[in-house]
Chains A and B, each alone.
Chain A
Amino acid sequence: MDQTVETGGKKIFETPLYPYAKSPDQDPGANAHHPVVIVGAGPIGLGAAIDLAQMDIPVVVLDENDKVSWGSRAICFAKRPLEILDRLGCGDPMVDKGVVWNVGKVFFDERQVYDFNLLPEKGHKRPAFINLQQYYFEQYLVERAFELQRQGKPIELRGGNKVVSVTEKGNGVALSIDTPDGPYTMSADWMIACDGAGSPIRAMMGLDFVGRVFEDNFLIADVVMDADFPTERWFWFDPPFNRGQSALLHKQPDGVWRIDLQLGWNIDKDEEKKPENVIPRLKAMLGDDVKFELEWVSIYTFQCRRMEKFRHGHVIFAGDAAHQVSPFGARGANSGLQDTDNLCWKLKLVMDGLAPDRLLETYDVERIHGADENIMNSSRSTDFITPKSEISRIFRDAALDLSERYDFARPLVNSGRLSVPCVYDDSPLNGADALAGGPARTRPGAPCPDAPLGDGFLLDKLGNEFQLLAIDADIPDQVEDGGIAATALRISAADDASGDLAARYLGDAGSAVYLLRPDQHVAARWPSFDEAAVKTAIRTATGRA
């Protein structure tokens, strides 16, 4: 990144990054038309815009604000989203700034019951998790968007642009937009709605958003302090300083600490948010002698829910606008980035006329599968953290009590699970799984796991186009079917002395040929090259079978 945003001493989230400027689209009679409009310049909207612009698809991002998100909000970013960010050209600043952590401690009542180390698997470029304030996350995405702009890529961010109506036209959508200079209209072939859990676009279109409400409130406080707490995740069940409830302490960059306190259901939110009520709570938790400053305080409740379908004609929903989960387990922004990772290459093929419209239906199939998995996992964490019945609390406390003395009970303790990407099992895009002895983790539908490769890593060589990955097998430079080409990448198990590459991609097989999708998911695999089989798999993976 060759330019950073100057903030003049202000916090980044107080600084307009893409201030409103009048666009020629607002001139009378302009009748502006754009191939793709994205609504919402949060992590998901920006990720989608960068992905499309990198593929030379002109994209306009509309947001009623002009700054990154207020307060830290999402803070945990998992390995798979970091790998997606690498593909989007902005993984490095995130990981350089972020806090990497591996150790967690679990407390119950007045005592520590156990600690754990995530012991991340070796041979990956990216860590299992980083903690990073959402405002930095968005800042780096905005900087990447500007960098693409300077390189002449067709990407435009319009702050102060509030979409007030959207109409499906059968071959695209028509929008009206409010600005400080008054309203204007435009049309677009496609709209991607990334406008958050409260999605105004979803409401305008009268679409459903059903699910389960969790009757609980959480106080979230980010404090700046010089404390010698280690870089660990500390989780309390029923601590003396927050009886009957839970608490979380987690480190972010710049000496900022995330504190999350469960408050229960019947509370006065406005009262609880006042510093004179927040500060005594934090002192009880941190100790009287710890000096801290409040950076951001919020009270949240949450629901686990999703839209019945994410795609509605020429409007496609992604991220929190399409699905919402509890925050335990870092599955919000993380799954949203996986949405647009899945969507953008499909949209490109459909826009180029190389794949039929039904390819977009597989965005629904694959990402609804992902959303359901995330909702299930985060609901389970929530049910453990905040038991909803007497008997569930009895079992929860039994597991915690046993965890102090017996290893077996520790996997039952659920204070949020490591967010891992889902495998698109049963996706209509999956082709042959013909690699006898091949590892289950690289079956069709799975995201490619990283592996060492020479001086670097495999994933840095994957993505943005269909690829034919050959491991100790002969393949041609390119295989093409219906104008869609898969480009050769030839490697050898000998390129990785650690054996991780062979363990992850060969298993018991001596050689392998993988067809990989532009989003780094496995489409099909074989022990050796067979042109007809590869062409069939390309057709299947692009909805043309």
Chain B
Amino acid sequence: MAALNTKPNIAAPDDFYADLLAAHEGLSKAESDAFNARIILILSNHVGDREILREALAAAKAQNEEEKRS
């Protein structure tokens, strides 16, 4: 059974993070929102597995649930 990998999986994480911020540099809020939507769709398609995608949605949602409770 495939499962969402929540352990560190990105080599050179600081470099990746810098790339992510660099990609947004100079974009307006609307352009950044559009960029984020495109990157989510691109990565989701790459993952493909519906079960993993469901787990990823739940993992991201957990923060909202926690904020609602507190």
Contact = CB atoms under 8 A, between A and B. Distances in A.
Contacts of B37: 394-395, 397-398
B41 interface: yes
Contacts of B33: 394
B33 to A, nearest CB: 5
B42 A394 contact: no
**Dominant secondary structure at the B interface:** helix
Interface string A382-402: 000000000000110111011
B34 A394 contact: yes
Nearest to B42: A402
A397 B42 contact: no
A516 B41 CA distance: 43
A408 B40 CA distance: 13
Contacts of A412: 41
Interface string A445-473: 00000000000000000000000000000
Contact of B34 (A401, A406, A408, A409): A401
A514 B21 CA distance: 61
Contacts of A395: 37, 40-41
A395 B41 CA distance: 8
The interface residues of chain A, by DSSP majority, are classed as helix
A402 B41 contact: yes
Interface string B22-56: 00000000000110011011100100000000000
Nearest to B48: A408
Interface residues of B, number: 8
Interface residues of A, number: 11
Contacts of B41: 395, 398-399, 402, 409, 412
A397 B41 CA distance: 11
Nearest to A398: B37
Contacts of B45: 408-409
Nearest to A401: B38
Interface in A382-441: 394-395, 397-399, 401-402, 406, 408-409, 412
A397 B30 CA distance: 12
Nearest to B37: A398
A282 B37 CA distance: 33
A408 B33 CA distance: 20
A406 B45 CA distance: 11
Contacts of B38: 398, 401-402
B65 to A, nearest CB: 18
Nearest to B35: A398
A370 to B, nearest CB: 24
A255 to B, nearest CB: 40
A330 B21 CA distance: 45
Nearest to A409: B41
A409 B41 CA distance: 8
Nearest to A403: B41
A218 B26 CA distance: 39
A261 B44 CA distance: 32
A409 B34 CA distance: 15
Nearest to A399: B41
Contacts of A408: 42, 45
A408 B48 CA distance: 10
Nearest to B39: A398
B30 to A, nearest CB: 8
Interface in A12-46: none
A115 B34 CA distance: 23
Nearest to A397: B34
A20 to B, nearest CB: 57
A448 to B, nearest CB: 29
B47 to A, nearest CB: 12
A497 B37 CA distance: 48
A392 to B, nearest CB: 10
Contacts of A399: 41
| Smallest CB-CB A-B distances: 3 pairs | A398-B37, A408-B45, A398-B38
Given A394-B37, A402-B38, A408-B45, 12 more contacts: A394-B34, A395-B40, A397-B34, A397-B37, A398-B37, A398-B38, A398-B40, A398-B41, A399-B41, A402-B41, A402-B42, A412-B41
25 contacts: A394-B33, A394-B34, A394-B37, A395-B37, A395-B40, A395-B41, A397-B34, A397-B37, A398-B34, A398-B37, A398-B38, A398-B40, A398-B41, A399-B41, A401-B34, A401-B38, A402-B38, A402-B41, A402-B42, A406-B42, A408-B42, A408-B45, A409-B41, A409-B45, A412-B41
